[in-house]
Structure 1
């Protein structure tokens, strides 16, 4: 046999051997969208064996369906309808959401045409879990826990910080923030094109994708989404927004200040922007944001007038019992004596009663502003 043919035969055999090794190991890596649909309780049409049934089974799919419908009926659709009239944010651009957790779903209802959502919180993003790579027992535990979180979401309209913190510490069954973001994206009708860990570059001061990242490097994550031919980016960033951190981390402080030049959404922020220990981010928002939409836990009402005229929606008398009863006294006074701009036909924060839920919308005065347009 000629030497060239022998070499070719050896190469073919090596290729077949490597292919057999791959086939005999674990299942091939799945697409990000396939994982997202599994988390969201949606069947994957690309899997021939799905027969229209979600990967986790019909019971899990039914739980997520019911929770999502409850959310859409009580909060999601009313919020989207309200925002179209009272926020009317222009298409494109970035929306900055500090103290967000994995709450992509709310900001997407209020700013549906944004090109980029930037969410910041204290929990690590953590890598997505492929349930098919788990043992049968671990897979059932994963979906059982996720199912419980979906039930809470259906009642509350958000994932609770205490639950997220507990999940981050759980060494046995962990969901992680990244799967929640992916599930929300799938339920919002997006195709999840890519999911990548990101980290701040010391050269550019921006968050950029990491290559071959270790599991413990997934503190921040980027989702690249697609819907109706439009690409949308979601950046979830783990960052301490307190003065003590920002004063000692100049790159983080500069990045936060750049984000503050975009429209900002604040919800369920534990009244932290009213705390003296968070004055740096508060001042950045007041000085720069062209549009601020917030509930009572955001910036103190006395600061809002520095941005522009404040439109009051809903009702507010006092903070939730979890917080200092003296918080936002000026806001309560404004609601007592001022003319509100309308009711708030939905609730997605601590205050659930129709006589307590509120939002404020503030647009930057054009004259003399230094804020970036949007």
Structure 2
């Protein structure tokens, strides 16, 4: 009996030992709120301390300022430009992210699965006991230092963050991600340690207080929606991304949305071509700043590019990654951006690109219609003041309009107004057009479907006719985002392309 009792006691001890090694989710939520600067009524022993009161004051101001200047405008921008894509695709790839779940949550509020990665260690789940210890003041000061960059500049400095997260009292990316979730109104429901196999499969190690290079956080928003955040400590340079199994893991995830911000211009380099090619092939939408995939890698026949903000040149640290084609595209056409992001984090200096993959087999944007005899002639601003019934040009797209939600809701079909530079004249036409810009309408919406459009800077040949030669089309809505011209110009339409 004594032997059996010892065995039973041993079993009970082992079981209790395992239970004690489990992550305490209630305590994680408590600690996450407190380090985020959120008061918790039941925890007076911590919230009454002077070091925490100081922390709360600083964090409250930082949260309030950053939500107003960045997070809420980002949420509004996403609702206007990306909401439809989020309804279809629930998986977000966010390479080079580090622990930055904060901006991903506000850029993709309808997403369900976020895949983050970086070189920073996972670390341990936050515990409230640290805030009761003599290390409390140091721990809170470290949190403020680490978060100052993200809540002010919108990004982490990779080398600084790696050292800070390794040496901090709250070690690793896990406490920062938990803090961001609590600060964004989420309740953490579970944390699971993961192991990534070389074939891209994942082993669930359970909710343990152990070390691992991957972790899954499950959280619930205020409306009850569950999201999953997966973070992998991994190097995604060529070769290493395959060796670790991370590329195989990404390839098993459904095609969806990708986000790239403050990525050190690594995908401008050949030795990060594998992750670059993966994103180009496995993304339906890519939202990025200029530190992401260079513009030249986007096939203009596959991607529709929309530019927001301003682009002049990178910061001095990355000046060798200047993109002349991107600068020219921004010079011709961009939409105002209401928040700062990336390395040029000040509002008015930031840039953001929205790349949307066009559907294969989309119908041509060219309208086929019967011409009417003796069209009414209008005056042109060209030197010879004449309108040609049939023009055969080689054009360069310099500015274009974009179909928005309002246009889609109010119209079944609609034109977009684009501006083109006449690069050359085909078939010996009049030279008066050479070097001039002309306005051309193309079909942007047809029977409720968005049509494909070429990229800014693309050059192609096309035959044009004045729009007024097609009376049946004159009642179509024309979505025109172009700057107003000093006097009326002739509007043309492709007669074939």
Does TM, scored on the shorter chain, surpass 0.5? yes
Bigger strand share: 2
Instruction: State the match for 1:100 in structure 2.
Output: 97
- Counterparts of 1:1-374 in structure 2, within 5 Å, are 30-31=24-25, 32-45=28-41, 47=42, 49=44, 57-88=52-83, 89-91=85-87, 93-133=90-130, 136-170=133-167, 173-201=169-197, 205-211=200-206, 215=210, 217-227=211-221, 228-246=223-241, 249=243, 251-259=245-253, 261-304=255-298, 305=300, 307-337=302-332, 339-340=333-334, 342-367=335-360
Q: Distance in 2 between matches of 1:220 and 1:109?
A: 23
Are the aligned partners of 1:307 and 1:362 in contact in 2 as well (CA < 8 Å)?
A: no
Bigger helix share: 1
When residues 94 and 141 of structure 1 are mapped into structure 2, their CA distance, relative to the original with a 3 A threshold, is same
Q: Distance in 1 between matches of 2:38 and 2:112?
A: 25
Cα distance, 1:313 vs. partner?
Answer: 0.7
Are the aligned partners of 2:196 and 2:244 in contact in 1 as well (CA < 8 Å)?
A: no
Are the aligned partners of 2:121 and 2:166 in contact in 1 as well (CA < 8 Å)?
A: no
Cα distance, 1:131 vs. partner?
Answer: 4.4
The one-character-per-residue Cα deviations of 1:65-103 (angstroms, maximum 9, x if unpaired) are 111111101111111111111222433611110111111
Are the aligned partners of 1:41 and 1:54 in contact in 2 as well (CA < 8 Å)?
A: no
* TM-score scaled by length of structure 2: 0.63
When residues 78 and 137 of structure 1 are mapped into structure 2, their CA distance, relative to the original with a 3 A threshold, is same
Point out where structure 1 has 5 or more consecutive residues left out of the alignment: 4-9, 370-374
Moved more, 145-154 or 270-279: 145-154
Greater Rg over alpha carbons, structure: 2
Q: Distance in 2 between matches of 1:198 and 1:211?
A: 8
Q: Distance in 1 between matches of 2:331 and 2:289?
A: 16
Q: Distance in 2 between matches of 1:244 and 1:161?
A: 21
Are the aligned partners of 1:117 and 1:233 in contact in 2 as well (CA < 8 Å)?
A: yes
Point out where structure 2 has 5 or more consecutive residues left out of the alignment: 363-497
Instruction: State the match for 2:462 in structure 1.
Output: none
Are the aligned partners of 2:313 and 2:319 in contact in 1 as well (CA < 8 Å)?
A: no
Moved more, 359-368 or 320-329: 320-329
Are the aligned partners of 2:218 and 2:226 in contact in 1 as well (CA < 8 Å)?
A: yes
* TM-score scaled by length of structure 1: 0.82
RMSD over aligned Cα atoms: 3.2
Cα distance, 1:51 vs. partner?
Answer: 9.8
- Aligned positions, number: 346
Q: Distance in 2 between matches of 1:306 and 1:282?
A: 18
The 3-state SS of whatever aligns with 1:210 is: strand
The 3-state SS of whatever aligns with 1:290 is: strand
Cα distance, 1:173 vs. partner?
Answer: 3.4
Cα distance, 1:144 vs. partner?
Answer: 1.7
Cα distance, 1:310 vs. partner?
Answer: 0.4
Q: Distance in 1 between matches of 2:271 and 2:103?
A: 27
Are the aligned partners of 2:337 and 2:348 in contact in 1 as well (CA < 8 Å)?
A: no
The 3-state SS of whatever aligns with 1:323 is: helix
